A and B are shown apart, each in its own frame.
Chain A
Amino acid sequence: AQKVTQAQTEISVVEKEDVTLDCVYETRDTTYYLFWYKQPPSGELVFLIRRNSFDEQNEISGRYSWNFQKSTSSFNFTITASQVVDSAVYFCALSEQNTGGFKTIFGAGTRLFVKA
């Protein structure tokens, strides 16, 4: 059965620290996409990145980087030199080809506190 696990419920760091948010997924489908979304205090989930199951290249976007490893079914998200504005809830999500995008599975979310 498909599942997304974000084992870290809350993380608290001091500004400028690096922080990694873990995401482990389970799926039987060979074709799927993984996503990260950010939910700031305003409530709206904002898309950060997606990665398909055939592309294990890591990605860096500014202070954000993502490490996708199929061997361990993980799609971890690292924020380098964290800032107060990074404080939010972060969701990892899985979308499988066999559900046509209609049944995206979300993890429970990790709440990140960045203190000044």
Chain B
Amino acid sequence: DVKVTQSSRYLVKRTGEKVFLECVQDMDHENMFWYRQDPGLGLRLIYFSYDVKMKEKGDIPEGYSVSREKKERFSLILESASTNQTSMYLCASLRGRAFQETQYFGPGTRLLVL
């Protein structure tokens, strides 16, 4: 069974802290994504990776960075957390380079920055 896991379901951090969100998939998928979900805005793409050590900016990359050292793991980093980064963060993976494929999502991490 397909599985995408995220390291934390809930996280509370202070402004200025460095925050790491981890995502692991067990499907050997080439592509992985980080989205943030905000009410009324749906899902917005932060970064994606199509291969190990490869990354591309999405629509809202400012304030974030990512790391993909292994195929199964994709990390989202908030270098200096700010209150406007309080959100739900969703990781997803996708097989191949096919626009018709469905993405598989993790359960999400609710991040609160105080």
Contact = CB atoms under 8 A, between A and B. Distances in A.
Interface residues of B, number: 30
Interface stretch (B16-24, B38-46, B64-72, B74-82): B38-46
A96 B99 CA distance: 6
A101 B103 CA distance: 9
Contacts of B35: 106
B111 interface: no
B101 A101 contact: yes
Contacts, number: 64
Contacts of B58: 103
B100 interface: yes
Given A102-B31, A102-B56, A106-B43, A45 B100 contact: no
A107 B42 contact: yes
Nearest to A92: B42
A96 B103 CA distance: 14
Given A97-B99, A100-B99, A108-B40, 11 more contacts: A37-B105, A43-B108, A44-B107, A45-B90, A45-B105, A96-B99, A102-B48, A102-B56, A103-B45, A106-B35, A108-B42
Interface of A: 4, 6, 9, 32-33, 35, 37, 42-47, 50, 52, 91, 95-97, 99-104, 106-109
